[in-house]
Amino acid sequence: MKLFEHEAKAIFSKHDIPTPLGKLADSPTKAREVTMQLHTPVVIKAQVTVAGRGKAGGILFANSPTEAELAAKKLLSTRIKGTKIQSVLIEEKASIRKELYFGITIDRSTRSYVAVASSEGGMEIEEVAATMPEKIIKVFIDPLYGFRSHHARQIAKKLGYKGRQMLNLATIFHKQYEVALSYDAELAEMNPLVETSEGKFVAVDTRLIIDDNALYRHPEFKKRLTEIEAELPPQELEARKNGLAYVKLDGNIGVIGNGAGLVMATLDAIKLYGGRPANFLDVGGGATANKIVAALNLVFSDPRVNVVFVNILGGITRCDEVARGILEAKMRTGFLKPVVIRLVGTNEEEGKRILTDAGFHVLDSMEEAAEKAMAIVKSGG
């Protein structure tokens, strides 16, 4: 789960990482009041979790409470990449001497956390890694030993700092590691971490992404989960409620399958035959008839879908159960759009019998089924 900047900052600040003086505002009037208590100029930042906020116009500056009010009004009435802005964070603008990057994330290939630092802060770290790999400092963290204070000092030194500054910076790095671990972070990042003209360090922008699988250890974010659900497009919300993994795509062939890899391969096959998939939908392992009904309703609800391709390879999923689900959905809602079914694996004979008796044509090969779905699209559905 991605936390908002202000939430991440509150956590960092609680762990003694310096952040700019500032406050949240959810209305232009509040923005004026907040700014009156701060030193101008201030920065007004849209609180959204989508990436690329700055480029999308989500960060504005103001020299007075009135300007801040106008800026907040502007931001609170717009959307960034489709997301409505609920609040803005208003902060004193830091005097920047240098922008640094520091983050703790997971390195899949070494199966460990890794500390990443760079003297080129303020831009996306992937961008730095791609264009100036020599500017990236990486320290892999031994899980049984941890990120020690001398590791932190080593990084601060490599960034070119000495004396008191080196020690201060190292302390911030070490604290961030503690935050990352205690909050089960997939990513804990300060970008930029600013060196001010007075030589102090301030985390000007922060990101904290919590591992969804660890949320049971952080009940304080339960409320945020419901808020996220309120922001979801209706189809994704419906999928979540029914335990389906769903991603909307931009084509017209609806796809339902069991197993993430198989569904991805199905999308690829459709593309290979010149078609465009409308969605990714994985019913998971051991899907019941009810889940199949929910999946079909979900895909049918997309107005762009001309044909639905159901691709099931039964392992723990039973073909007869899937067949019953398809029949049930047909009885409840009637199929207004054609459905192509590929069904093999556990209890295949029973599943095929149920569907054939009901007038469905069931195929054995996923390639054949993909071609058939394409033919239907080409003939105009």
Partner 1 sequence: MGIFVDKSTKTIVQGITGTQGSFHTKLMLDYGTQIVAGVTPGKGGTQVHGVSVYDAVDEAVKKQEANASIIFVPAPFAADAAFEALDAGLKTIVIITEHVAVKDVIQVMARAKKQGATVIGPNTPGIITPAECKLGIMPAHIFRRGTVGVASRSGTLTYEIASGLSAVGLGQSTCLGLGGDPVVGLSFVDVLREFEEDEQTKAVVLIGEIGGNLEELAADFISAEGYSKPVAAFVAGRTAPRGKRMGHAGAIIMGRAGTAQSKIDAFTEAGVMVAEKPSDVARLLAERLKKKGIFTGGMSGT
Minimum gap (Å) between residue 142 Cβ and partner 1: 7
> What distance in Å separates the CA atoms of residue 251 and residue 269, rounded to the nearest whole number?
14
Amino acid at 10: A
Q: Which of residues 297-356 bind partner 1 (CB under 8 A)?
A: 313-316, 344-346
Contact flags string 172-201 toward partner 1, x per CB under 8 A? ---------x--x-x---------------
Cα 147 to Cα 128: distance, rounded to the nearest angstrom: 23
The residue among 166 and 366 lying less far from partner 1, judged by its C-beta, is: 366
Quick check: is 92 catalytic?
no
Q: Pairing relation of β-strands 42-46 and 59-62?
A: antiparallel
Catalytic residue among 5, 7, 189, 195: 189
The CA distance from 151 to 146, in Å, is 10
**Residue 126 in contact with partner 1, rule: CB under 8 A:** yes
232 binds partner 1 (CB under 8 A): no
Q: How many residues does the chain have?
A: 381
Closer to partner 1 by Cβ: residue 36 or 51: 51
- How many residues bind partner 1, per CB under 8 A? 54
- Among residues 280, 258, 252, the alpha carbon closest in space to that of 373 is found at 252
Toward partner 1, which CB reaches closer, 92 or 302? 302
Task: Please confirm, yes or no, whether 101 is among the known catalytic residues.
Answer: yes
Provide the token pair at 27.
Answer: 């209305």
Among the listed residues 257, 296, 307, 352, the single contact to partner 1 using CB under 8 A: 257
Residues in the site for partner 1, rule: CB under 8 A? 51, 106, 108-109, 111-113, 124, 126, 130, 142-144, 181, 184, 186, 211-214, 216-217, 245, 247, 249, 257-265, 267-272, 277, 280, 282, 285, 313-316, 344-346, 365-367
Active-site residue set: 101, 189
